[in-house]
Each structure stands twice: as structure tokens, then as C-alpha cells.
Structure 1
Amino acid sequence: MKRTASTLAAVLCALMTAGAASGQDMGKFIATGGVSQVEGAGGGGLTPWALIAGYGSRDSWGANAHYTHIQTQDYSLATRGVAVGIADRLELSLARQDFKGDLAPLDQLRIKQDIVGLKVRLLGDAVYEQDTWVPQVAVGVMYKKNKGIGGLGALGVSNVTQLGAKDDSGYDYYVSATKILFEYSLLVNGTLRATRANQMGILGFGGDQGDNMKLMPEASVAYLLTRKLAVGAEYRHKPHNLGVDHEKAYYDAFVAWFPNRNLSLTAAYAALGDITVFNPKKQKGWYLSLQAGF
């Protein structure tokens, strides 16, 4: 944990130094940069939004670093990454996911995954176009590379393809539409994702139950209690491609605090459904994410 914190602090320090040198303007309203989604994109915790990461305006850029931890009864997931928003139009993100088993027979399980993301705003402005119902719309792609399985050497398992996945890498494509209604202190978002990923790619891509791209709906709603505090909920539908994984939809209820433009803290209670038939319980637990940037 100390190593993670120091690494993210070093990344953030470098980003802030570069931002100061380039005259980065932090022109967006507070909270309108969103938080860091568990795959690295700007948005909610579970699903990307059409908003571009960072607080840079159309004439500038912004960036952030994040660390997220999810803990259920049997598993934990840590995600760390960085995202850069350019001219409030283009977003680039990089994230590393570390998935661990905490309960026998999978208490030695370790899986890592790298994710590279790209998002482009196509039309609309969720903040400044309050006189129209047209939302901000963005399209994005995530390339995911599973780094293999650790801790199951005694079973001869070292790659997700040995669990039935067709591939250990793949792409997610998505379109998101986000509307902020300042009159009602409300943000609503809908995302449609084309994916073959099993548990976001942690268990590979495709499988014995299906190997085609499937369109999965996702949704978020957030209510601003104050200018710096928001509560909300999210839903993310999932494909079911693996016989050894009765994959179900993800849900969460969250609270996000934005003390200033440089920091945000998100806490949530998440329901993640079944994760493998080896620990056949509906996985539920807490989610905590810290984001720092500009």
C-alpha cells in the first residue's frame, strides 16, 4: 500500500508540475470531471461517462491519478492508473488491475490485467448546454491484456484460456451519453458497451458459452447534495461466456466527495454477483477510490 501511494504521488507530482508549466487552467466546474472508473476511464465507479477526465477546459488539458480498492467476501480488486484529458475533447487512460482470492480453494489466486483506454467527445456539452436536452456524447475503446494467473500452479493453471476463455486479450467498445441538469442537481448517464470480456477481462475474453461481441447496457445516476458532495447508483449488465463463471450484473450505491478540484474520494457498496463456481456466493462488499489531479 505504501509503495502504491508513493508511486501515485510521484506520478501526480510530475503531472502537476507539467500542468503549472504549461498554464493549465482548471476551467471546469468542480465535480464535472467525474471520478475514475474501475477500468481507468473518467466517469462513475463501474461505468464510463461521456465526460472527459480532468478539469482542463477546451483551451487546456487536465490529468489525474487514482487508486481504487474493492473488497468482497472472497475476493479483492485493486486498480491504479492515470488519465489525461486534452481540450475537453480527448481522453487517454492507463490502468493496472490486481485481482486476488482471499478464501480457499482460491486463496492463492492472483490475476493482473493492463488496460489502455481512449475516449473522444463527439457532440454536446453536459455542463454549458443547459438550454437543450441533447446530452454530451462520447465514444471509447479499451484494450485489455490479461497478464496470466498466479497461485494455481499446483493445478497446472497459469492462463485464463485454461479456464475456458478463448483469448487473454480483447477490446471493449462503448458509447456514452451524459446529461447534467443543474436545475435539479442531477446527473444521468447511459452507456452501451460491446464486449467479450469475462469479469471485465480478469477471466479472459469469450468462452465455452459464447465468443461473440455482445451489447451490454450500463447506467448511472447521481444527485448533488451540495456543490461538493454527490450520492448515486450504478448498474452494469454483463455477458455470460464461461461455464465456470455464472457472471451476473454489477450494481453499486455510492457517495462521492470533492473537497476541491485536486482531490476526490468515492465510497460505495457494490454487488458483483457470482465470480466462479469455486466460491459460489453472490459477492458483495465495499468500494473505496481516491483520485488526485487537476
Structure 2
Amino acid sequence: MKNKILTLTLLGISTTCMHVAQAQDMLKPDMGKLTATGGVSQLEGAGGGGLTPWALITGYGTRDSYGANAHYTQVNTQDYSLRAYGVAVGIADLVELSLASQEFTGSLAPLNALNIKQDIFGVKVKVAGDAVYDQGSWMPQIAVGAMYKRNKGIGGLGALGVTNVKQLGAKDDSGVDYYVSATKILLEQSLLLNGTLRMTKANQMGILGFGGDKKDSYKPMLETSVAYLLNRKLAIGAEYRMKPRNLSVDNEKDYYDVFVAWFPSKNLSVTAAYATLGDITIFNPKNQRGWYLSLQAGF
């Protein structure tokens, strides 16, 4: 009887130790994904390209681990600048959570004092396929996601009596974007292809609010990315993003860019791009073009 009790006790201790070891392994990021497959940080905080989210989950954690990163992005055009910074975590290569803040400022009169801030919370879930391991199939990796955005008002235009995006014709100062992304990596061709369909009412990503005096309904917007890996640490590519046109004061145009991304290690990436963002408002009616630079650090 004593031997049975001792045996059961040892089995219990062994099982407990095994579970503890498994839990400890989960607490350690394994960084098991291929370099560059964690993507970079998109302007709204999601893992992907600079302009559009991908179906890939951010970070380098595999299905038995997790990954996380922090990023800072600066975009400068002739008349405006945009700063974006935030953090994101990928869990079990299945779920991604992100938190980002944007600050949009003007540099040319009459909007040289303009300052608009926005917070964005994002969630993405992988629902089918695997962009890396399904090389024998044309099935892409597919993920669905949502971004809740809250505009924090307009600064610098108080003398004109403008403090909220609703005064520019927007219907709301907060809103949600919904999207589905499909990403395919062709390892033999060193090529990444991505397509995203976004349902949105956001004006300039939400910087000018949601909905407007012209339209106030969700519209599907197509976003695409293509990237070519010159080697394991360097990629070049291009992106395109359709935009809604909801406001009379904002003749919004589609975004597009060409980029180069450098991955010196899995802990760091640097992305530079030349972006065209179209007209921002009728007050400075010119095609806004400029440089985009993003730094991401994580695991």
C-alpha cells in the first residue's frame, strides 16, 4: 500500500514538473519564424506593410510561443507630418493585439498650427492557411481583423472655432475598421503577395473623423502589397490603398508607396519608403508626397 502511495506521489510530482516546464517554455519567446515573416508595423499598428495590414501575425513567436514589438514611424510631406508609435503582441502565431497612437501636424499656413491625435486598438485573428508552410498549395494565409479608432480632437485651430472633426463635416469622432487579409509567401520566388479588403468610414485613416457630409456608410476598400526579398535581410516592394471620399473639405485620394525594408536581425527592422498620400484638405490642395521612415524593435 505504501509503495502504491509513493508511486502515485512520484507520478503526481513528475506530471506537475512537466506542466511547469511546459509553462516555462511558453514564457520564453522562441523566435522560431523566418526572418521578415513577422512583417513591419503598419501605420495603424498592425503587423504588415507600412500602409496595409497582412494576414501574418506580428512578432517571431511560433504556435508554441509569442512575440512582441514596439515601433516608431515618421512620415513627412510638403505640408504635413505624421508620427505613429505603439506596441503589438502576437500570441501562438494565431492572435495579434496592437495599440498605436498617431499625431498629425501641419507646417504651412493656414494649417501650420494644426495638431490632431488619434488612438487605435487593433485585433487580428488567423483563420486559415499558412503563408510559409503551405508551399505545396496556392491557399494563402487568411486573417480577419478590426481596428477601433478614437479621434482626440483638433488642436491649433481654436482661433477659428474648430476643435472637433465634426465641425469639418465628419459624422463621428470614433469608429471601427473591419478587414480580411490574404497573404501568400512564395519561397522559391522570394516573393510576398498580399490583398486586404477593408470596410471603413474613416477619413484619412480617421484623422479627419468618420463618415461625412457626402457619405456616411461603410464602403469596401481594396489594399494590396507586393514584396521581393533581395536576400534574407533586405526586401523591396510597393503598396496601394484605396480611400473613401466622405468629406466636402477633403478630396481624399488613394495612398501608394514604394519601400525598402532591412532586417539586420529578428530584433530590429528599418523601413524607408517614398509615399504619395494625395490631397489632405482643400485648404492645401496639392498632392502630398514625402518620405516614410519606421523603426521596429522586438522579438
The TM-score bracket by the shorter chain reads over 0.9
- For the pair shown, the structure with the greater C-alpha radius of gyration is 2
Query: CA–CA distance in 2 between the matches of 1:278 and 1:164?
Result: 14
Q: 2:94 aligns with which of 75, 78, 89?
A: 89
Match of 2:70 in 1: 65
Match of 1:147 in 2: 152
Number of aligned residue pairs: 276
Runs of 4+ aligned residues of structure 1 deviating over 3 Å after TM superposition are none
Equivalent residue letter for 1:276: T
Is 2:222 the partner of 1:222? no
Query: CA–CA distance in 1 between the matches of 2:228 and 2:107?
Result: 34
Equivalent residue letter for 2:213: D
Cα deviation code 1:176-196 (max 9, x no counterpart): 000000110000000000000
Is 2:284 the partner of 1:267? no
Is 2:165 the partner of 1:156? no
Q: When the two structures are superposed, what TM-score results if normalisation uses the length of structure 2?
A: 0.91
Match of 2:115 in 1: 110
Equivalent residue letter for 2:261: A
SS class of match (2:188): helix
- Measured after TM superposition, the shift of residue 233 of structure 1 is 0.1
Map 1:198-217 onto structure 2 (within 5 A).
Answer: 198-217=203-222
Q: 2:292 aligns with which of 270, 278, 287?
A: 287
Map 1:244-259 onto structure 2 (within 5 A).
Answer: 244-259=249-264
- Measured after TM superposition, the shift of residue 20 of structure 1 is 9.6
Cα deviation code 1:4-52 (max 9, x no counterpart): xxxxxxxxxxxxxxx9992210010000000000000000000000000
Query: CA–CA distance in 2 between the matches of 1:158 and 1:23?
Result: 46
Cα deviation code 1:250-288 (max 9, x no counterpart): 000000000000000000000000000000000000000
Cα deviation code 1:24-81 (max 9, x no counterpart): 1001000000000000000000000000000000000000000000000000000000
Is this contact kept in 1: 2:258–2:273, CA < 8 A?
A: yes
Is this contact kept in 1: 2:45–2:122, CA < 8 A?
A: yes
Match of 2:9 in 1: none
Q: Residues 51 and 21 of structure 1: is their aligned pair in 2 closer, same or farther, counting only changes over 3 Å?
A: closer
SS class of match (2:159): helix
Equivalent residue letter for 2:51: L
Match of 1:239 in 2: 244
Is this contact kept in 1: 2:153–2:164, CA < 8 A?
A: yes
Q: Any stretches of 5+ residues in structure 2 without a counterpart?
A: 1-23
Equivalent residue letter for 2:152: K
SS class of match (1:184): coil
Query: CA–CA distance in 1 between the matches of 2:51 and 2:101?
Result: 15
Q: 1:196 aligns with which of 179, 197, 201?
A: 201
Match of 2:85 in 1: 80
Is this contact kept in 1: 2:26–2:64, CA < 8 A?
A: no
Q: When the two structures are superposed, what TM-score results if normalisation uses the length of structure 1?
A: 0.93
Query: CA–CA distance in 1 between the matches of 2:267 and 2:277?
Result: 30
SS class of match (2:90): strand
Cα deviation code 1:216-244 (max 9, x no counterpart): 00000000000100000000000000000
Query: CA–CA distance in 2 between the matches of 1:286 and 1:48?
Result: 20
Match of 2:12 in 1: none
Match of 1:56 in 2: 61
Query: CA–CA distance in 1 between the matches of 2:189 and 2:60?
Result: 22
Match of 2:42 in 1: 37
Cα deviation code 1:70-124 (max 9, x no counterpart): 0000000000000000000000000000000011000000000000000000000
Query: CA–CA distance in 2 between the matches of 1:23 and 1:238?
Result: 40
Cα deviation code 1:122-173 (max 9, x no counterpart): 0000011111000000000000000000000000000000000000000000
Q: Any stretches of 5+ residues in structure 1 without a counterpart?
A: 1-18
Query: CA–CA distance in 1 between the matches of 2:255 and 2:73?
Result: 16
